């Protein structure tokens, strides 16, 4: 093998990468390099970036202090994430979340991995945009899901219908009529619950409000989100993806109240964002669901810091 041979790869084909703000650092088994982004001549956007991966066998590379530092860092990342589920690992490194300030203005983007590290959340105050969908059927029952055991944050907790992030891509950055967040919600409801897009027209999602919250999951992972609360009333076909969802259940108001009692008694676990919505908004908004007056409840001017 020629020692000068190199391979151009796009970020989507690197399954293990850590993105840094000014330059890109990639870590993966058997290699780790630091390199500035090489943008194509036609565009400087993220989608056009290309990165160089050396194909020189590690045993033939010159050993320097930088090599030692990179090898040590690479080993630490591999070790720290050795138990992470393969599907969740791919999403953590490939998905780019939208970074915002506390007024919900876009300030950049970073990997899902970095956005959920409590160390980075605390040190760099990383805040990313998110959404939480509350889907009701024609009986006005709310669809809940139990997150899968392989989820990196808050595994096996019960939560609202779907909770995720719009990604740093054109279709999910659209601010007008909150279309970016609505597009992301439609995408993830198919990914997680198998609900076809045609059953969930994007204009049927009603944004009712925004909350800003921070919540640790364990010693390493957590959430710091500016969360859009989207309500929709539709009868849908649900086919849960086991990589994302352990269980689903439609619940009426009384069943939700019983679930809260069980959570207070430590019998079940609820996601922190779901509990915040339940305690502050859900029951009064449920009245509007039943009356067909959800638009009257909407307040997208306020960002509730909870």
Q: Which residues are catalytic?
A: 163, 225
Q: Burial level of 233, CB count in 10 A (0-12/13-18/19+)?
A: middle
Return the number of other C-beta atoms located less than 10 Å from residue 144's C-beta: 21
Name residue 129's beta-bridge partners.
226
Instruction: Tell me if 173 sits within 8 A of 98, measured CB to CB.
Output: yes
Instruction: Tell me if 55 sits within 8 A of 5, measured CB to CB.
Output: yes
Q: Provide the strand spans (E) within the chain.
A: 6-9, 18-19, 24-28, 31-35, 38-39, 49-54, 96-100, 106-111, 128-136, 142-147, 158-159, 162-164, 206-216, 222-233, 245-251, 303-305
Q: What is the DSSP letter of 172?
A: G
Measure the CA–CA gap between 44 and 57, rounded to whole angstroms. Answer: 31
The 10 Å CB-count burial string (b at 16+, else e) for 258-281 is: ebeeebeeeeebbbbbbbbbbeeb
Q: What is the DSSP letter of 60?
A: G
| Residue tagged 């929709």 (tokens) | 232
* Token pair of 17 as six digits: 């990468």
Closest-CA residue to 145 (of 178, 194, 78): 194
Return the number of other C-beta atoms located less than 10 Å from residue 40's C-beta: 11
């Amino acid at each position: 093998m020629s020692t000068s041979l190199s391979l151009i790869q796009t970020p989507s084909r690197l399954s293990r990468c850590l993105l840094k703000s000014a330059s890109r650092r990639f870590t993966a088994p058997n290699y780790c390099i630091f390199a500035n982004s090489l943008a194509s001549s036609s565009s400087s956007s993220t989608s056009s970036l290309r990165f160089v991966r050396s194909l020189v066998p590690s045993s033939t590379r010159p050993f320097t202090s930088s090599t030692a530092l990179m090898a040590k860092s690479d080993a630490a990342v591999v070790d720290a994430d050795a138990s992470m589920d393969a599907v969740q690992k791919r999403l953590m490194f490939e998905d780019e979340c939208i970074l915002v300030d506390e007024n919900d203005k876009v300030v950049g983007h970073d990997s899902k991995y970095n956005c959920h590290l409590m160390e980075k959340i605390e040190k760099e105050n990383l805040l990313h945009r998110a959404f939480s969908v509350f889907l009701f059927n024609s009986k006005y029952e709310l669809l809940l899901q139990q997150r899968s055991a392989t989820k990196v944050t808050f595994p096996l907790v019960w939560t609202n219908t779907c909770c995720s992030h719009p990604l740093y891509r054109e279709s999910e950055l659209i601010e007008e009529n909150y279309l970016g967040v609505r597009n992301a919600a439609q995408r993830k409801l198919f990914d997680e619950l198998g609900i076809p897009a045609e059953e969930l027209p994007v204009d049927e999602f009603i944004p009712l409000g925004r909350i800003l919250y921070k919540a640790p999951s364990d010693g390493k992972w957590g959430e710091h989100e500016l969360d859009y609360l989207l309500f929709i009333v539709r009868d849908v076909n649900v086919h849960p993806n086991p990589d994302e969802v352990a269980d689903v259940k439609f619940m009426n108001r009384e069943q939700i109240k019983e679930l809260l009692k069980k959570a207070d008694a430590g019998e079940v676990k609820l996601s922190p964002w779901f509990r915040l919505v339940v305690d502050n908004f859900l029951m009064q908004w449920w009245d509007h669901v039943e009356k067909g007056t959800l638009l009257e409840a909407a307040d997208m001017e306020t960002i509730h810091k909870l």
